[in-house]
Amino acid sequence: MKFKRGKPSDAIVTDEPIDDLHKQIMTVDGGYPGNLVHYGGYVVCESVHPKLMPLLLAAPDLLAACQAVLKWAHTPQSEPGGGFDTFAEGIVPMIDELITRVTGEEAQP
């Protein structure tokens, strides 16, 4: 799931509903008319402070990075994906990119 800015610039939305209830609440047939059009997607949150927007937009990718670290940590070195090269070449660049995206500054070595 990817998050993006909604049409009101202080909202965060997604193109897909989180679950059936989210879909029902946000659709014209089951919810408030025009919500999807007004917000530009399924609302995740609104009235987000501009300083928090990058962090919240990156939340799904931050979770994926944490999951990648845990998967690597639980994989024996002798198995594919368990070596340090997987961490150094795959996971560290992902984390570095996320830190840059969230803070607007390059991660420190």
pTM of the model as a whole: 0.81
Question: What mean pLDDT is predicted for residues 11-17?
Answer: 91
Q: What is the per-residue pLDDT across 19-53, written as a single tens digit (0 to 9) for each?
A: 887 777 776 555 565 777 888 888 899 999 999 99
Q: What is the DSSP letter of 95?
A: H
* Residue 8 to residues 13, 50, 80, Cα–Cα distance (Å): 10, 12, 45
Higher pLDDT, 63 or 35: 63
The Cα–Cα gap between 17 and 41 comes to 9
Mean pLDDT estimate for the chain: 88
Alpha-carbon span 42 to 94, nearest angstrom: 27
What digits encode the pLDDT tens for the residues 96-108? Answer: 999 999 998 876 6
